[in-house]
Structure 1
């Protein structure tokens, strides 16, 4: 590859490829408008921000849930306060707690593992494949009789390889939770992520594909799991509105149990009604941008390696993953592109989630570091190198967020800037 004068890099005093930074990486927030404001204002004017009662209840959370049910093809959706809450609710819906283990991908946000601990279970970590998502081929290595569930996490817009994950879970009679926090709208072989496993969870936090600042949801095909989720998110109650809507008629003397408060507010629900309606447009725009960038870069840089996907057609295109040959190359590439006003990054400090100190050292706020103090038959041991592919790949995979508000000129400047940096450095 022909070398280019190093002085052309902005890092070395050259003119940057872009005169200003890319749009902030908040896909749902950057397309917010008067519609979201009007929906939220209706709730405030009605003086009824609580979900289940008020002087003029508008039922916005219910409306959002119905939209999710229709579009995802699931009979049950439940709005909650966050995706972390949704994970805890999902785990409790499945009856998981103290003395149980849950398989978690080694590359994910801390909340995935943290929610397992919050549910009083212990995470064990499976390695990743070339998609940077959980590797189905590594599940058998970490499986034992104390494992009760797998959490599959489609990271940054690319689906997990769900067929072998579901087959593994069926073989061992364990549950599958899909943590779709970063990838709302992603599909796998035509099915929406979140609607494939036993329970799916979604995030509406600020960074996510659609947002109300905070918020989350739980979806399932199971009336049993839905009822348990609804109870756990609302102090063990099953409100009349939820009973009637879904035709549930349990015996409260035997069905009720103690829960938490993870109820979604009507203001959040109102914003999410508008945001959910924008989802398809956001995803299609990001897919188009992603396709353009990848094709243009492949033409300019035929040896560039991109992130693998088990179902590229189903990806939402929210992030373009570029794989470098080493962590050192990834660091240099990231620094040079950021200087060009093309914001890129590696994930989570370039390390697996189990290396976060509080997880690695099994520290909790509870006595004796509960629930890690459970006397497991097969003790849970974390080592730095226990997931070697995660250690390797997360440090050399560079991600470019693909905003839905990029203009054609932005796309061309991104291609030109990445081409300049890549040819100069490598």
Structure 2
């Protein structure tokens, strides 16, 4: 990752076809656009690729979560369970829907721990959002079984795992719906943009109408129809230029993943020489999108020492235990209940605090993340960079 590494004539041609029509809006202007509907074509292609019945393009991965939550009817007074290792967008969307995020531990997959999930379910739980973090599979079958037992829908946050599979089935197709991000650092990118996939036609219709201000799409499914509205909505529409980029990038996705796998294998082999090292649990190596290599040391002290050697040799790894964007106890604005709203929403309502988060609430995750190091895997890693990292890992192994 990211997909801009392979920008070429395919992306240029797709975009030029949009410019030739002069229509950037995904709907209407039928005569002027001369049959060119890039967003609709992208939705259809993405649905075919993942094996989903329906796909709804939106403006971002964050918007995809908000649209999915809204389509499922999540709102004020509800709780939505997600994991404590994720990008802030996952829980931002939950708050924006009016609900309260509840966080679980992660296990050695670096994704939701099903055992802790079971403990966090209450009679207010309205949805569960496991995240296929760093491009690899959560224990989605176990999570789905728990959710089904309680009658709770699952939204798969697949923002970082486009192209990943579990036993041949695309991630994002196990739950009620799956959300994707195509932002500037994702394996396939449209600059900004996102997608929601589902096999539930009524859920898709809700998403289709909600993301377009509630416009009635019944007359022309996937397009605009009459002037009736079943409910209020908002504007999360993808524009034609993004759809054009998505078509070109999607056609390259499997090749990008294959390239990442080769590089990841080289780095994993080099990291294997470090005494006491272990690797993140990957449930299906063949289905891994290989966007990251995550490895664990025996202690936080060893991880810090190893990373210092890597940094000193120009190949520092990401220590997500220290990262302020992706790990629960480091979200200082969440812990403090910081908000622009004068009444304290979404943390407070009518002068009463709705929720308070304890930075010590996920000890298992904190211990695991404190000794975890991660490398991002480019689509095209230059030989010089690969040599630098492998040489640094060799020096770390000699500690």
Q: Provide TM-score, normalisation by structure 2.
A: 0.91
1:396 counterpart residue number? 371
**Given that residues 27 and 282 in structure 1 are in contact (C-alpha distance below 8 angstroms), is that contact kept between their aligned partners in structure 2?**
no
Aligned in 2, Cα 1:67/1:423: closer, same or farther, shift over 3 Å?
same
Aligned in 2, Cα 1:184/1:418: closer, same or farther, shift over 3 Å?
same
Question: Which is bigger in relative contact order (C-alpha 8 A, separation at least 6)?
Answer: 1
Cα distance per residue 1:262-287 (max 9 Å; x no partner):
00000000011000111000011111
Question: Are 1:421 and 2:396 matched, yes or no?
Answer: yes
C-alpha RMSD over aligned residues: 2.4
1:93 counterpart residue number? 71
1:256 counterpart residue number? 230
SS of the aligned residue for 1:369 comes to coil
Question: Are 1:205 and 2:183 matched, yes or no?
Answer: yes
Using the TM superposition, give the Cα deviation of residue 53 of structure 1 relative to its aligned residue in structure 2, in angstroms.
2.4
After the TM superposition, which residues 275-424 of structure 1 pair with which residues of structure 2 at under 5 Å, given as runs? 275-298=249-272, 300-301=273-274, 303-347=276-320, 349-350=322-323, 352-353=327-328, 355-373=330-348, 380-407=355-382, 410-424=385-399
1:120 counterpart residue number? 98
Aligned pair count?
392
Q: Provide TM-score, normalisation by structure 1.
A: 0.86
Aligned counterpart for 2:144 among listed residues 147, 166, 182: 166
Distance in 1, Cα, partners of 2:337 & 2:2: 34
1:56 counterpart residue number? 33
1:20 counterpart residue number? none
**Given that residues 79 and 102 in structure 2 are in contact (C-alpha distance below 8 angstroms), is that contact kept between their aligned partners in structure 1?**
yes
Cα distance per residue 1:274-310 (max 9 Å; x no partner):
0011100001111122123323443x34632211222
SS of the aligned residue for 1:399 comes to strand
Aligned in 2, Cα 1:144/1:380: closer, same or farther, shift over 3 Å?
farther
**Given that residues 80 and 263 in structure 1 are in contact (C-alpha distance below 8 angstroms), is that contact kept between their aligned partners in structure 2?**
yes
Aligned in 2, Cα 1:48/1:149: closer, same or farther, shift over 3 Å?
same
**Given that residues 270 and 393 in structure 2 are in contact (C-alpha distance below 8 angstroms), is that contact kept between their aligned partners in structure 1?**
no
**Given that residues 232 and 259 in structure 1 are in contact (C-alpha distance below 8 angstroms), is that contact kept between their aligned partners in structure 2?**
yes
1:76 counterpart residue number? 54
Using the TM superposition, give the Cα deviation of residue 252 of structure 1 relative to its aligned residue in structure 2, in angstroms.
7.7
SS of the aligned residue for 1:164 comes to helix
Distance in 2, Cα, partners of 1:238 & 1:296: 56
